[in-house]
Structure 1
Amino acid sequence: MKRLSTLSIAAAIATFGTAAIAADQPVIGLITKTETNPFFVKMKEGAQAEAKKLGAKLMTASGKKDGDTGAQITAIENMVTAGAKTILITSSGDAIIPAVKKAQAKGVQVIALDSPFDGADALFATDNYKAGILIGQYAKAATAGKPAKIAMLDLFPGHPVGAQRHNGFMSGFGLKANDAKSNELSSTAETVCAADTDGNQAKGQTAMENCLQKDPGINIVYTINEPAAAGAYNALKKAGKEKDVLIVSVDGGCEGVANVGKGVIAATSQQYPLKMAAMGVAAGVDYAKGGKKASGYVDTGVTLIAAKAVAGVESKDVKTGTSLCWGNK
């Protein structure tokens, strides 16, 4: 595999530092999928704040885009060499697993944040299947009595988070769905179109345009995240259909919550990246000081945010979502 790293020599020096690290100072690495997505920006902020609070040295790196496992592999190797004893990773794909195993063989604790992967010592994340269920239930209740024609705007094939949100939505809507452990995407007669977006606004718009060409009668749109939802809305508005289609999503970023308030998105499942990162850093410090690794899955919470409540589905309003959101307000 060709390895592409976002860490140039200069950036590596800036990130890892040239000063000697104190012998008793915990060294923790954080590797995110990208450095620009507000979700990962907030995650980094949370890690930095907790590391400062607990007296740990934090290293950071990221891929150029979601799916850039080459950069993540290089970052793992760089961080192990630089002395990290815990690495926190939002995985872009299973290609990182051999590098993770090599790090673990050297005594490094590896914790998955947000995106699960086989072999991680622990997972601190949103229950993405539940996040999907919540928006599925909302979409079902909000469109009660109408025949469903659903567009599924997904992440990319084989990613566990994408599959969990997709299948959770299907289950919440009352359609036949795979369970939370499956990476295969469910489909039924109601899901008239499915397309990958990479969680990207521009690709979300293109995907929605293509779906409308396939079936102009689409009245519900599931989106993997809020950038994809914004893209879908742009396509619908361009086609003059924005008032006839309900969009639901997952993330809970400030821009996404604002779009709920504007009517762009009907409801979104809000997750909490700062909490994931802070808990990961704390676990890294505990491992450095006491030798006990974190284990199992820790649910970091999810809340449905909707401008208009519907009967039978618990949700919070936009004001609450704004108070808990991440990214620029």
Structure 2
Amino acid sequence: MSYKKLTIHFLLVIGLAIFTFSQKSLANLTVGVAINDLNNPFFLQIVKGAKRKADELTNGKANILVVASDYSLNRQRWQLAQLVERNTDIVVITAADQQALASDIQKAIKQGTQVIAVDVSAAGVVATVATDNVKAGFQACTHLINQLGGVGKIAIINGPNVSAVVDRVDGCNQAIAKASGIQLLQVDAQGQGSQAGGEQAMKTILATYPDVNGVFAINDPSAIGAELEAQNRGKRNIVITSVDGAPIMQQALKNSNALVSATAAQYPDLMAEKAVELGYQLKQGQKLSQQLFLIDPSLVNKNNVMQYKGWAE
């Protein structure tokens, strides 16, 4: 049965919606996918990848439970407990907080549930699968610097204080450090990883440094927001790059007049596939060779966007 043909059951348990993707036969393996936002295509790709790998491992007999925290720590803590109570074998989690879930995760593991973090690290998990975010930031900012001819003023639109964001900014700073003609502007441009936040951050940047040439945004939504604000202010000579490879950026890069120039694409479905594979190995009594597994990003720009498959369903 394909991903699109799955039956969806809504189980409301004290206000918690658990989406159950099931086959006609009883499941041999139950995989929980704890994400942050059901409306974000990035997280939906995590669900897709987890489902695909679980079905591959069980000949289509896997049971998938999907919960979304809406970035609420308390909600995710409760959801994790509910997944454990339902005898979930593996939980693939995008943590709402990197540290605060440690005791909850350890409790889940002690009760037989293997918890694997994806996208961002989380204290207490048995393993983490993520994009090589340092490399992603480096790729995006190297492209930005090249587009500026190695000379210019660059600002960074930051985001939530999680490992993925910190590493992207670190990678960008590494690229800037190699370019003597680039000035990194010191501005508190916090975009919160959203389009609206990106617009506000760009407003702050332009108010402080109207002569800015380039902007690195930590994800595609904030980059798109930055472009909207710059365009609204008549700024046509700013180059913007980011990280994600999301559909909204894929479309934007097809516009030759867009200020966005490139994104370091992530592969959330592959991250989830690897996470389920690792959890399955642990359930089979195998040991993992390492705790951190990184997946390389790939730079998508206006020249190669037509060849980029994107996060296709």
> Quick check: 1:74 aligned with 2:75?
no
Report what 1:196 is aligned to.
190
Give the deviation of 1:287 after TM superposition.
3.0
**Aligned pairs for 1:146-185 within 5 A:** 146-148=151-153, 150-156=154-160, 158-174=161-177
Give the deviation of 1:70 after TM superposition.
1.8
State the distance in 1 between where 2:65 and 2:189 align: 35
Report what 1:267 is aligned to.
262
Q: RMSD over aligned Cα, in angstroms?
A: 2.7
Structure 2 residue runs of 5 or longer lacking an equivalent are 1-10
Conserved 8 A contact 1:192-1:215: no
State the distance in 2 between where 1:237 and 1:173 align: 25
Report what 1:37 is aligned to.
40
> Quick check: 1:98 aligned with 2:103?
yes
TM-score (norm 2): 0.86
Amino acid at match of 1:246: V
State the distance in 2 between where 1:218 and 1:210 align: 11
> Quick check: 1:247 aligned with 2:240?
yes
Report what 1:215 is aligned to.
209
Amino acid at match of 2:306: K
TM-score (norm 1): 0.82
State the distance in 2 between where 1:81 and 1:216 align: 55
Conserved 8 A contact 2:244-2:263: yes
Report what 2:64 is aligned to.
58
Report what 2:4 is aligned to.
none
State the distance in 1 between where 2:251 and 2:104 align: 39
State the distance in 2 between where 1:173 and 1:112 align: 30
State the distance in 1 between where 2:170 and 2:115 align: 27
Conserved 8 A contact 1:27-1:58: yes
Amino acid at match of 1:280: A
State the distance in 2 between where 1:126 and 1:17 align: 26
Report what 1:319 is aligned to.
306
Deviations 1:220-249 (A, max 9, x none): 1110111101100010011100x2101000
Give the deviation of 1:146 after TM superposition.
2.5
Cα gap change, 1:210 to 1:51, in 2 (>3 Å): same
Give the deviation of 1:299 after TM superposition.
2.0
SS of residue in 2 equivalent to 1:115? coil
SS of residue in 2 equivalent to 1:194? coil
User: Which stretch of the first structure deviates more once superposed, 268-277 or 54-63?
Assistant: 54-63
Conserved 8 A contact 2:22-2:64: no
> Quick check: 1:87 aligned with 2:103?
no
SS of residue in 2 equivalent to 1:258? helix
State the distance in 2 between where 1:251 and 1:18 align: 30
SS of residue in 1 equivalent to 2:28? coil
Deviations 1:262-291 (A, max 9, x none): 234111100101111122223333333x22
Structure 1 residue runs of 5 or longer lacking an equivalent are 1-6, 177-187, 309-316
Give the deviation of 1:250 after TM superposition.
0.2
Report what 1:183 is aligned to.
none
Give the deviation of 1:40 after TM superposition.
0.5
Greater strand share, 1 or 2? 2
SS of residue in 2 equivalent to 1:29? strand
- Which of 108, 127, 150 aligns to 1:122? It is 127
State the distance in 2 between where 1:11 and 1:27 align: 22
